[in-house]
Structure 1
Amino acid sequence: MKNIMILATGGTIAGVAHSGADTIHYQPAVLPVEALLSEIGPLKDIASLSSEQIAQIDSADMTQDIWLLLANRANVLLQQPDIDGIVITHGTDTLEETAYFLNLAIKSGKPVVLVGAMRPSTAISPDGPMNLYNGIILAASPAARDKGVLVALNDTINSSRDVTKTNTSLQDTFKAPELGYLGYLADGSPYFYRIPTRRHTYMTEFNIGTITELPQVDILYGHVNDNGALAYAAAANGAKGIVYAGVGNGNMSQAIKQAFRELQSQGVVIVRSTRVNNGIVSRNGAVDDDHYHFVAADTLSPQKARILLMLALTKTRDTSEIQEIFWRY
């Protein structure tokens, strides 16, 4: 029997409402992890479980300090021969960000799976217990090894790099719209149909154990008549990098280009992403990146490009080296 550790951080999966029919007005992060596990008794025959409450928060309140705490604790646990995998319970609002950070920070090939819920635990038909059940099955499966940090909700398996929340309230919200699921969970077993090809976990160059604080990186959203005022404000507030969610193929106005050129002279690194849901932000496509010394985000969403840029800035400030990092991950 596999030994699986549950690390809990709160979220809707631990939420409580006054009515079983209320799936909107509820208090997240109420139930402790032991209460969540009590709802999935059948797992006693599948895995030996232990648990820790790392945080008890709405995932909108997730912080980078908690990320570092979570990653370091997970790395300690995964080094232990008697721990076969980890499941992390998390609110869905920022689950994809935590998952991708851990995908770059975990130093083990053992399975790490994030799960959450779209309905509170008190709902007439809560999705949390089944998601947690499936997450533990996935973490206990040898098939999940060496595939990076995974996200398991609604009977699907997703790569943390590609997955995103696509709907504000439906249970099938977590998808990789263009690249697709890695697989499915059915009848108590995982079925994989593709694997991640970008570097992850123990293949990465990032040493979280030596980091006490991540560099400040802000995201700006492209729009008509954007004059660059927020870019200057971000830099004045201490941003070491800016991810620009540009229009189309990461395009931007002349005013924004000028603002970014001035900020680069102050040492701020600029990454071009896009506000479009799918597609590659290609280097030297809509903007001459070689000329402006911008970094193209490839297929990473703005929020995930921000995470990779933060970690890249712990290694280098050279934009050509950072671009290579974006190609690798």
Structure 2
Amino acid sequence: MSQLPIVALVPTGGTIGARGRDRLDLAFYGELDQQHAMEELLEVIPEVRAVARVRPVPFRSAASHALQVEDVLRLARRVVQLVADPSVDGVVVTHGTNTLEETAFVLALVLSTDKPVVLTGSMRPASGLSSDSPINLFNAIRLAAAPGASGRGVLVLMDDTVHSARDVTKASTARLDAFRGAELGPLGFIEPDGSVLFHHRREPWPAEGAFSVSGLAALPRVDVVMSYLGADASLIDASVRAGAAGIVSAGTGAGFPTPAEQAALEAAADGGVVVVQASRTGSGRVGVSPAVMARGIVSAGNLAPVKARLLLMLVLTRTHDPRRVAEYFGCA
């Protein structure tokens, strides 16, 4: 037992620990704003003692859609401290599912470690009938303790499925299999016999672990502007007036804003705002022509707009040069 790995467990709130009015309260439990203590959740899964020694780490509890960027930076600093602790073998963060993918992505940008860091949540509250809370928590701890998870970057474990923090997205509001791996699919699975199987190679990407949260209390303002049929320049102009240092354009289809938006984006870029062009589709790589790049507009590659925003916020703490920004997005 003494040889089992030590997994630090950081609870941040969300459905995985939520308490509803009754076992069939699977939709509006958040209105109660009640959470089970992490010790209560662990008591339900005594089997965890056979795979790891869990070390609970107190943290602020909040619904994930209520979190601010500053909260995520504070969490990142805590996880940085944990992975630097030689006695800790892995870290699990429990998190609400609404913005789990964004927090996971930030952690992937600021962590440089081979130790497994796993985020998990649940689609049904801990008090709900047939909740996925216990199995997701158990499997996340199992994954963080698995030797094969080392050196694979920040991972997300939901519904027996292992995802990369870079690619994962919540693709359904309430289904148990809500989390998907976009174009590349999942990295692997937790099998019924407890085996952790990976079927993708480890592929580092330019921005992974490239940033530090040490002394970083806030990030520059970056807004996401979604394009739609007949969209004009109003939202882009409002973003510039509000002092945005960067704008992510969630363009139509292959990443095309309307002509009015394109003109406004180019004017913003001329004024020193860093513009990144993404697509609202949620899948596929955005290509930016050399002519558009020459005007200072950068491609988001295949990053979803919300993740492109977070990366740009961190990049802007280092540079406003579109050519260097493009390097972090892997589109130079």
Q: Secondary structure at the match of 2:275?
A: strand
- 1:223 is matched with 228
Residue in structure 2 matching 1:289, options 292, 297, 301: 292
Structure 1: 4+ residue segments shifted above 4 A: none
Q: Which runs of 5+ in 2 are unaligned?
A: none
CA distance in 1, matches of 2:73, 2:224: 20
- The structure 2 residue matched to 1:158, chosen from 141, 163, 171, is 163
Moved more, 3-12 or 246-255: 246-255
2:301 is aligned to: 298
Q: Partner residue of 1:311?
A: 314
Which of 121, 139, 148 aligns to 1:143? It is 148
Residue from 93, 104, 120 that aligns with 1:99: 104
1:19 maps to 22
CA–CA distance in structure 2, aligned partners of residues 146 and 282 of structure 1 = 30
Cα distance between partner residues in 1 of 2:235 and 2:102: 23
Instruction: For residue 219 of structure 1, give the secondary structure of its aligned residue in structure 2.
Output: strand
Aligned length: 326
- Match for residue 195 of structure 2 among 181, 189, 200: 189
Bigger mean CA deviation after superposition, 75-84 or 254-263:
254-263
> Which secondary structure does the structure 2 equivalent of 1:218 belong to?
strand
Structure 2 counterparts to residues 132-281 of structure 1, below 5 A: 132-186=137-191, 187-199=193-205, 204-281=209-286
- State the secondary structure of the residue aligned to 2:88: coil
Deviations 1:117-170 (A, max 9, x none): 000011111101100000000000111111110000100000011010111110
Tell me which residue corresponds to 1:108.
113
The whole-number CA distance in structure 1 between the counterparts of 2:328 and 2:247 is: 16
* Match for residue 35 of structure 1 among 28, 31, 40: 40
Q: Deviations over 1:87-108 (max 9, x none)?
A: 0000000000000000011131
TM-score, scaled to structure 2: 0.94
Gaps of 5+ in 1: none
Q: Is the 1:11–1:29 contact (alpha carbons within 8 Å) kept by the matching residues of 2?
A: no
Aligned-partner SS, 2:57: strand
TM-score (norm 1): 0.95
> Is 1:72–2:77 an aligned residue pair?
yes
Shift of 1:29: 5.6
Provide Cα deviations, 1:222-280, integer angstroms capped at 9, x if missing partner.
01121111111112112110101000111112211221122223311110001112111
CA distance in 2, matches of 1:266, 1:181: 40
SS of corresponding position for 2:80: helix
* Cα distance in 2 between the residues matched to 1:185 and 1:260: 45
Taking only the aligned residue pairs, the percentage that are identical comes to: 37
Give the CA deviation at 1:55. Answer: 1.7
Amino acid at match of 2:188: G
1:87 corresponds in structure 2 to 92
